[in-house]
Structure 1
Amino acid sequence: MLPATLVLSGCVATQQDGITNSSSPSELIPAPASGAPTTSAPLETAQAANKAPVYWIGRSNDNVFLYREFRDVPEQDNPVTLALRVMMSQKPLDPDFFTPWQNPKKLATSISGKNVITVDVSNDAFNSNLDAAMAERAIQQLVYTATAAAASTGLIDSGQQVQVVVLVDGHTDYVAFDHVRLGAPTSRSAGMVAPVWIVDPQEGTSVADGSVKISGRSTVPGAKLRWEVLKVDADNAKTAYLTGSATASADAAKYGLFALSVNLGPGRYEVRVSQLDQTDSNKELYVDTRGFTVN
């Protein structure tokens, strides 16, 4: 459960009346000289039909970003509706993430031939008290999840711009969380997705011993990354086990991807990946972590 109020500090103020349009969110994440991203993550590629990409909100350093998990879902239902239902009704696998959405009584989605996804949801989905910055992230969480689910199942042309229109009880102009006006076609917003995030292994998964593959993405192509594997004992104490560095791909076809392999024996581990500050190589930015077990 979320606290009654989620407050995000350090953000640029929105309009005086506190209401922005979903299609033009405020500049909430300024790009510092350290190389923070200025673009959204590329659309997802094809995945297994029973794997739904779901975005969650998580804290990193002094800011808040979107992170993705793949969740098991039935194959026979609408994949966009399924992914959004998971986002609104379930908890993330990673305890560092959360969602401000509530499970709605009604939720339906459709896709037009113009790469526009329409989401129609009942107003009980918005029963959380958020500040303006968190409200904008919540709407982008929905946009990222809907577009990811459609792209990963081949329902949209991922080579073209994809937009999401959100209706509430069939109507436009609803003000979500008292801060964001819905109804206009909305795209993924630059800078909302996490600058560094681990794709595999996912939180809580088990992998075979031996060579363990760790992969992820940075939204800064060519970014210098630091990684560390910690061993977790029975009392949940963590000790450094392996460390190293990696560079995110600068290849346009592999936009920001990174991968590494480490040899691990049976036990519990946590992997940490961070971006190095361009002006201070000892300073770690945008740390992401995943806990997993080696059998």
Structure 2
Amino acid sequence: MLPAALALSGCVATPQPGITDSGTPTQTVPGPAPGVATTSAPLESTQASNKAPVYWIGRSNNNVFLYREFRDVSEQDNPITRALRVMMSEKPLDPDFFTPWQNPKKLATSISGKNIITVDVSADAFNSNVDADMAERAIQQLVYTATAAGASAGLTDAGQQIQVVILVDGHTDYVAFNRVRLGAPTSRSAGMVAPVWIIDPQEGTEEADGAVKFSGRSTVPGGKLRWEILRVDGTTKTPYLNGNMTASADGAQAGLFNFSLNLGPGSYEARVSQVDPTGAVQDLNVDTRGFTVR
């Protein structure tokens, strides 16, 4: 089920006024506190795995951001097409995430020598009724997923900026979701990625009894974070452990965090949030993951 703002529509209506361009998305994500440096999630590194990086949309406090999952994929198609098929046709593992994309009849991708990924998709992929802000996030969801899949498969040069050109039925200038004009080379927009993001464990995974390792990323290098573990019994969640930590402020590791805990068998929920320096919000930009220990 999608949120009310993402009610599905069986057809695409006439484009509305205020259409934006995919190459220059409107920044509607509020910035950090004054004087606080931020970083976006870096491009994925090459990995020897058959799991595809797929980005989804999720809510945090009063805003909406992009979050990544690694998903099992078939050997059909190239890595970028496989990842986009999951994004457009499957549901996220985490019930807190959602997607406005629809399963398209046609989908193909290619890469030029200049680190340009071209995605050609049929118009039925856009058969959802969303507002302008959500439409921009959906386009960035595709851009993040395509660039992540290309980078993790070693198909693109990590030393160059990767851009995505989206064609619809082979043509440029299509207005996606009646809100965003496509065709211009589009890069990742830093403001779209989640401020706090638990990377491991993924939603629904099983961990071995003993030391469970947690890792993730914050957009504030050196920022203070709060973590909490809840025990889950049916629909009841009971606070179990909690603590504080600091995201890394060093170079390529900037924003990363990790910790480990000894947990016995059972079902749990991990929660990580940024600590608001003003104290106005107790749990700022919360991300959660449900997992079990066997």
Given the two structures, how large is their TM-score scaled by the length of structure 2?
Answer: 0.93
Report the equivalent of 1:13.
none
Report the 3-state secondary structure (helix = DSSP H, G, I; strand = E; otherwise coil) of the residue aligned with 1:27.
Answer: coil
1:268 has 2:267 as partner: yes
Give CA-to-partner distance per residue, 1:115-161, whole Å, 9 cap, x none.
Answer: 10000000000000000000000000000000000011110011210
Deviation at 1:280, TM superposition (A): 1.2
2:244 is the counterpart of 1:245 = yes
Name the residue aligned to 1:180: 180
Greater Cα shift, 200-209 or 70-79: 70-79
Matching residue of 1:11: none
Deviation at 1:255, TM superposition (A): 2.4
Displacement after TM superposition at 1:6 (Å)? 2.5
Cα offsets for 1:54-91 (capped at 9, x unmatched)? 00000000000000000011245300000000000000
- Bigger shift: 27-36 or 263-272? 27-36
Aligned to 1:6: 6
Q: Conserved in 1, the CA contact under 8 Å of 2:76 and 2:82?
A: no
CA distance in structure 1 between the partners assigned to 2:49 and 2:81 by the alignment: 13
Q: In the alignment, does 2:219 pair up with 1:219?
A: yes
> Partner residue of 1:131?
131
In structure 2, how many angstroms separate the alpha carbons of the residues matched to 1:281 and 1:165?
41
Distance 1:254 1:220 in 2: 12
The Cα of 1:283 is off from its aligned counterpart by: 1.8
Equivalences for 1:137-152 in 2 at 5 Å?
A: 137-152=137-152
Letter in 2 for 1:71: R
Provide the C-alpha distance between the structure 2 equivalents of 1:88 and 1:2, rounded to a whole number of angstroms.
14
Matches of 1:83 and 1:178, distance apart in 2: 24
Deviation of the 1:49 alpha carbon: 3.2
The amino acid that maps onto 2:266 is: G
What amino acid does structure 1 have at the position aligned with 2:272? V
Q: In structure 1, what residue type is equivalent to 2:53?
A: P
2:267, 2:291 within 8 Å by CA — same for their partners in 1? yes
Retained in 2: the 8 A contact 1:140–1:189?
yes
Q: Distance in 2 between matches of 1:35 and 1:232?
A: 38
**Partner residue, 1:55:** 55
- Aligned partners of 2:55, 2:77: CA distance in 1, in Å? 19
Aligned residue type for 2:273: S
Relative distance call for 1:67 and 1:116 in structure 2 (3 A) is: same
Partner of 2:10: none
Matches within 5 A, 1:197-236: 197-233=197-233, 235-236=234-235
SS at match of 1:292: strand
Q: Work out whether residues 115 and 160 of structure 1, in 8 Å CA contact, stay in contact via their aligned partners in 2.
A: yes
Q: Deviations over 1:197-225 (max 9, x none)?
A: 10000000001010000000111111110
Q: Could you list the runs of 5+ residues in structure 2 that have no partner in the other structure?
A: 8-15
For 1:261, give the aligned amino acid.
S
- Check whether the contact 1:5–1:128 (CA below 8 A) recurs between aligned residues: no
8 Å contact from structure 1 (residues 35, 277) kept in 2? no
Q: Distance in 1 between matches of 2:209 and 2:77?
A: 35
Q: Structure 1 residue 36: deviation in Å?
A: 7.7
Task: Give 5+ residue unaligned stretches, structure 1.
Answer: 8-15
Preserved contact between residue 55 and residue 68 of structure 2 (Cα < 8 Å): yes
Equivalences, count: 286
Within 1, Cα distance between the matches of 2:255 and 2:159?
A: 18
Take 2:280 and 2:212, find their aligned partners in 1: how far apart are those partners?
27
Once residues 41 and 65 of structure 2 are traced to their aligned partners in structure 1, the CA distance between those partners, rounded to angstroms, is 12
After superposition, where does 1:27-38 map in structure 2 within 5 Å? Answer: 27-33=27-33
CA RMSD of superposed structures (Å): 1.7
Q: Give TM-score scaled by structure 1 length.
A: 0.93
Give 3-state SS (helix, strand or coil) of 1:158's partner.
coil
Counterpart residue number, 2:286? 287
Counterpart Cα distance in 2 of 1:35 and 1:237: 40
Q: Which amino acid aligns with 1:95?
A: P
CA contact (8 A) 2:39 2:221 kept: no
Aligned to 1:120: 120
Over the matched positions of the two proteins, sequence identity in percent amounts to 77
Runs (4+) of structure 1 exceeding 2 A deviation are 1-7, 34-40, 74-77
